[in-house]
């Protein structure tokens, strides 16, 4: 009886020229390679006089898989009871012996998974700012007040729990172990995982750093440290184990800014089965700038995420292929770093947490929806880019939180009264502030920070004296659910016309920080973000046009 021997396109089995069938083996060297051996499901009904619990059955399977390895004189590196597989280092002789074993379904190379190569640069924000990607994906237009009912599992290099801009209480995690000893999950000697976490859930309203897609601190996080502090590669079998760890922790979404070229039937089956159990898996499409498939992103039941820049154009490094499903901001993304500071990084690794963060955001408002319905809503409501409809560069388009939220209100949300979202903008003229309400429908309660308030939808208020005031808008729906937002409004006794005297002309080669002022084409601009080469009249997310020079 012949069994399936699966190999990647990049290398032959055991690097010894072994063909896909065991019987074609011609290797003579004793070199071994790490393999995943999947066995047929064994019935336990006739083995035990009583039914086993799920935990007991898992333990029994693990023992049986270890015994199987021992019987062919191999050491079980790890057992994977969820897919009835065992990982072993196998020699050609041991592979040959498996050909005669009727319990074997497949034998395949355990594929390597990597932290993608990144383009990065250090930044040092002085006050809280909103990365351009947060607005691009409409994160601020949807409330995350209910985010505590969702949990995102981040498979990466760890999490800097002590970072001032990241939540620490309630975050859980799993460390590497055995042959994949990656260290403590709450230590991140690399920085990549901390950066990803910041995009998903960096704290808002604390006056420092950045804000994430879910900025309230309510979203639950589980960290699985699949890479060590040097970012050393992991295996596909490590991801299979990580899926189980995520599910055991009660996660609903996995965020995987990682990948590799080799596919694996065992790994694919693990993601398929987890997806059928209700998990939503999201992974980076890859940074090769080519049409190659990267895994796990390119499995059907994993969402493959491409990257766009601040102008919503496909990033040059972003891989493009038929499996690309959706896109997110991935060029010059500012987020938290493992030194307690912040860093600007580019990659599909940065686009992925935008999508997983949005998935958690909209799902938290419609928790009765299934993973399939959330995925469909994200795709149906994405901002179409490139060729009309789904294409290989952008997939369905750029993920849009508010559009997905509205879509769900008419589908699995049942058309009921959705969780309200509070938002507003304003303009000032002297001591008078005019407010524009961008909230969902409901009743409105404004407090202007000077003891006065209003219940109008879009009020105008004149302050008694100049200063900066905290203005709060609370929105309540008919079910009694509410959301609120606070913004600082500064009014002055008189409007002073802007002037450019003494200001330097903007230069493409100069690094600008928040608050820097420049002149450009006869106008004064004030920097709202860190940048280099961002032309003021184009990058409105980086520069605020103050007015014409005197």
- CB of 505 closer than 8 Å to CB of 524: no
For residue range 404-424, list pLDDT tens digits in order.
999 998 877 655 555 566 788
Question: What is the percent of the chain with per-residue pLDDT over 70, rounded to a whole number?
Answer: 86
What does pLDDT average to over the chain? Answer: 85
- Per DSSP, the chain holds a count of helices (H) and strands (E) of 9, 27
Catalytic center residues: 156, 192, 349
Non-local CB neighbours of 165 within 8 Å, separated by 6+ positions: 198, 202, 203, 206, 208, 209, 210, 336, 342
pLDDT at residue 9, as a whole number: 29
pLDDT higher than threshold 70 for residue 367: yes
Structure tokens, 493: 């006794």
- CB of 96 closer than 8 Å to CB of 74: no
Query: Does the model's pTM come out above 0.85?
Result: no
- 29 confidence band (pLDDT: 50, 70, 90): very low
Cα gap 136→197, rounded to integer Å: 18
Cα gap 522→532, rounded to integer Å: 20
For residue range 309-354, list pLDDT tens digits in order.
999 999 999 999 999 999 999 999 999 999 999 999 999 999 999 9
Cα gap 304→320, rounded to integer Å: 10
Question: Which H or E run includes 152?
Answer: strand 151-156
Integer Rg of the chain from CA = 27
Structure tokens, 289: 């700038």
Structure tokens, 461: 């208020």
Question: Which H or E run includes 272?
Answer: helix 265-276
pLDDT at residue 501, as a whole number: 77
- CB of 394 closer than 8 Å to CB of 401: no
pLDDT at residue 285, as a whole number: 97
Our CA angle for 185, 189, 190, nearest 5°, is 105
In the DSSP assignment, the letter for residue 487 is E
167 vs 7: which has the higher pLDDT: 167
Cα gap 11→19, rounded to integer Å: 11
99 vs 134: which has the higher pLDDT: 134
- CB of 547 closer than 8 Å to CB of 497: yes
Cα gap 513→324, rounded to integer Å: 35
520-528: Cβ within 8 A, 24+ apart: 522/548, 522/549, 523/547, 523/548, 523/549, 524/498, 524/499, 524/500, 524/548, 524/549, 528/129
Distances (CA, A) of 536 to 233, 309, 329, 522: 41, 16, 20, 12
Question: Which H or E run includes 350?
Answer: helix 348-365
pLDDT higher than threshold 80 for residue 39: yes
- 369 confidence band (pLDDT: 50, 70, 90): very high
Cα gap 45→52, rounded to integer Å: 9
pLDDT at residue 40, as a whole number: 87
- 544 confidence band (pLDDT: 50, 70, 90): confident
- 27 confidence band (pLDDT: 50, 70, 90): very low
- CB of 395 closer than 8 Å to CB of 306: yes
Question: What is the percent of the chain with per-residue pLDDT over 90, rounded to a whole number?
Answer: 55
Specify which of 55-64, 148-157, 483-492 reaches the highest per-range mean pLDDT. 148-157
Which among 404, 402, 398, 401 is positioned nearest to 325, based on CA atoms? 398
pLDDT at residue 216, as a whole number: 95
């Amino acid at each position: 009886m012949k069994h399936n021997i699966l190999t990647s396109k990049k290398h032959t089995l055991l690097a010894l020229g072994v063909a896909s069938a065991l019987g074609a083996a011609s290797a003579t060297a004793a070199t071994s390679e790490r393999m995943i051996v999947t066995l047929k499901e064994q019935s336990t009904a006739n083995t035990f006089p009583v039914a086993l619990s799920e935990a007991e059955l898992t333990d029994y399977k693990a023992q049986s898989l270890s015994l199987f390895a021992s019987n062919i004189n191999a050491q079980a590196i790890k057992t994977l009871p969820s897919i009835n597989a065992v990982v072993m280092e196998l020699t050609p002789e041991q592979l040959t012996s498996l050909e005669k074993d009727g319990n074997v379904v497949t034998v395949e190379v355990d594929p390597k998974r990597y932290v993608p190569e990144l383009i990065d640069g250090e930044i040092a924000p002085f006050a809280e700012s909103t990365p351009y990607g947060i607005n691009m994906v409409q994160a601020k237009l949807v409330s995350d007040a209910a985010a505590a009912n969702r949990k995102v599992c981040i498979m990466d290099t760890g999490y800097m729990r002590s970072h001032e801009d990241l939540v620490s209480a309630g975050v859980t995690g799993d460390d590497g172990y055995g042959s994949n000893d990656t260290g403590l999950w709450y230590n991140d000697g690399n920085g990549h995982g901390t950066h990803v976490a910041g995009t998903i859930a960096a704290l808002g309203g604390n006056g420092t750093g950045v804000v994430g897609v879910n900025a309230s601190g309510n979203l639950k996080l589980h960290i699985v440290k699949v890479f060590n502090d040097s970012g050393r590669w992991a295996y596909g079998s490590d991801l299979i184990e990580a899926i189980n760890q995520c599910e055991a922790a009660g996660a609903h979404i996995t965020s995987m800014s990682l990948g590799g070229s080799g596919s694996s039937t065992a790994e694919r089956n693990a993601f398929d089965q987890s997806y059928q159990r209700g998990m939503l898996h999201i992974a980076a499409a890859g940074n090769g700038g080519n049409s190659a498939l990267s895994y796990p992103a390119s499995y059907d039941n994993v969402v493959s995420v491409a990257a766009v820049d601040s102008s919503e154009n496909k990033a040059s490094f972003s891989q493009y292929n038929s499996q690309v499903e959706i896109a997110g901001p991935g060029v010059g993304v500012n987020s938290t770093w493992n030194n307690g500071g912040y860093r600007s990084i580019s990659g599909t690794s940065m686009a992925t947490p935008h999508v997983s963060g949005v998935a958690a955001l909209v799902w938290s408002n419609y928790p009765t929806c299934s993973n399939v319905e959330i995925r469909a809503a994200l795709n149906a409501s994405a901002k179409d880019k490139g060729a009309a409809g789904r294409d290989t560069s952008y997939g369905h388009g750029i993920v849009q939180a508010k559009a997905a939220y509205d879509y769900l209100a008419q589908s699995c949300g049942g058309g009921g009264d959705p969780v309200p979202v509070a938002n507003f903008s304003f303009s000032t003229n002297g001591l008078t502030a005019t407010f524009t309400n961008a909230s969902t429908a409901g009743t409105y309660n404004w407090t202007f920070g000077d003891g006065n308030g209003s219940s109008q939808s879009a009020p105008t208020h004149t302050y008694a004296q100049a200063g900066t005031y905290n203005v709060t808008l609370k929105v309540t729906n008919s079910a009694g659910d509410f959301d609120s937002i606070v913004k600082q409004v500064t009014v002055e006794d008189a409007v002073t016309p802007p002037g450019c005297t003494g200001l330097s002309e903007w230069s493409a080669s100069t690094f600008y920080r928040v608050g820097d002022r420049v002149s450009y084409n006869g106008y004064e601009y004030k920097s709202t973000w860190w940048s280099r080469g961002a032309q003021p009249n184009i990058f409105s997310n980086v520069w605020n046009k103050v007015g014409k020079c005197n």
